[in-house]
Amino acid sequence: MLHSTWRSVFRRGAMAAAFGVFAAGLTVVAPLASNAAAAGTLQQVTDFGSNPGNLAMYEYAPSNLPANAPLVVALHGCTQSASDYHTHSGWQKFADEWGFAVVYPQTSAANNSLSCFSWFDSTKDTRGSGEAASVKQMVDTAVTQYGSDRSRIFVTGLSAGGGMTADLLADYPDVFAGGSVDSGIPAQCATTQTAASGCQYSNQNLTPKQWGDKARNSYPGYSGPWPRVAIWQGSSDTTVAPVNGTELRDQWTDVWGIGQTASSTQNLTGGTTESIYNDPAGKPAVALFSVSGMAHGLAVNPGSGADQCGTTGTYYLNSICSSYYTAKFWGLDGSGGQGGTGSLPAPSGLTVTGTTDTGASLSWNSVSGAASYNVYRDGTKVGSATGTTYTDTGLSAGTTYGYTVAAVDSSGAVGASSVSVTATTTGSAPQCYTDNNYNQVAAGRAHQSGGYTYADGSDQNMGLYNVAVTHTLKETSPGYFVIADSGC
């Protein structure tokens, strides 16, 4: 049964005020019995925890997903489904190209008559409660299943899903490294359903600090780091007033402790203006994408171009591929998100020209307008070059690394990243052994003296000679071991 506020909205002929605007054709996925998704398909996971929010979990991963890959959580709008969002949004394309998994939470009419995520209900959208807690359980399940990198977990959502995205970023800044609110609402704008329409239609006349406090109060005592937030808003949206984009900008720049004056702006395709707000270190922290003339929906741009994605439909609007620019802002393309979204194309012809036991050499084709090139190893920038060659050094023997390259223009804007290539160094990969000190000595990897344990070869002190102290030892050469507790 709809609340009276929602019924009055419908009588005005504006179903959109309750985020019930979505009438997209739904592609329903039948529930599956399996608890893990098959690679390369969208499937349901039926057992992911206590599920206090009564949500369904769907997920997608490319068949060649590497370990320690990023994870994206994508929330649909009202009356939509996980399958519908997966089909239209374009996230599958970039999951395949750049190597990450996607989790699609799905709500239903059992939770809300219009199948909206409950961004306006403080019993469902707060840390440890309801739908928010269910999404957190999905993240934990996916991380265990895929071996995802916990430092690269992101969340995005459309409309009501965007409102829930903002809440999740405020609830779990320790979980999400970044987010994207598409045609959505600031975190904790409304705490009851009756207040929802006011947030959608009206300027709330709050200061940036007041908006920031709403986010900070969602997880009292948390001191950072905060998620990087992209905001997408159409200038002709009559369902979620464009002022919401400004309010989201105010909220998250205040959370970051930065001003509301853009560090840089540029014009993108589809009548889109990108405004970047840098953190004190000069790295983009908040991005506001304003799409001129776009109504309520998710910005897509069908086509085969590198910066195109998605398919059009009801509330999937042809203007610009928001998923592409969001993924680049987060650094999912391997750029690390260091320089925004420059316009230079991806370098072609990236090739591994040689390897040693400690290095890998690369070459690529030049890009017109490039002042330099950034080189990324496994998603992290490792160097730059003014020419079209680079040698990466200090690598481990017998180990495979992934590389991408991106062109940088004279203003410092980083363009699209190249296709990834892999390089495997020569020699044998070092072996690592994790055990207690007693067993390390018994295995011949360490020795004891005076009640203490020392690694063979390096003679590093491993602590007391007993079964209570555990270390990881790396054998860097035959019979030579070093402590590698931080990772092998």
Residue 71, burial from CB neighbour count under 10 angstroms (0-12, 13-18, 19+): buried
Q: How would you class 121 by CB atoms within 10 Å of its CB: exposed for 0-12, middle for 13-18, buried for 19 or more? A: buried
Determine which helix (DSSP H) or strand (DSSP E) holds 264, and give its type and residue range.
strand 264-268
Residue 401: closest CA among 353, 346, 360: 360
Sign of CA dihedral 108, 112, 114, 119: negative
CA–CA dist 407, 344 (Å, integer): 6
Give the number of other Cβ atoms within 10 Å of residue 217's Cβ. 11
For the question of residue 159 being annotated catalytic, the response is: yes
d(CA 333, CA 472): 32
**Residues with Cβ within 8 Å of residue 202, at least 6 apart in sequence:** 241, 243
Longest dimension (CA), the chain: 85
Active-site position among 159, 180, 323, 417? 159
CB 241 within 8 A of CB 195: no
Specify the DSSP element, H or E, that contains 372.
Answer: strand 372-377
* 144 CB-contact burial (10 Å; exposed 0-12 / middle 13-18 / buried 19+): exposed
Q: Return the ∠ at Cα 77 (arms to 240 and 52), rounded to 5°.
A: 120
- Token pair, residue 348, equals 């072609």
Closest CA to 158 of 257, 251, 91, 247: 91
Cα atoms found within 13 Å of the Cα of residue 65, Cβ hemisphere only = 28
d(CA 42, CA 87): 10
Q: Around Cβ 268, how many Cβ atoms within 10 Å?
A: 17
Determine the Cα angle at 12 with ends 9 and 13, to 5°: 95
Which residues have a catalytic role annotated? 159
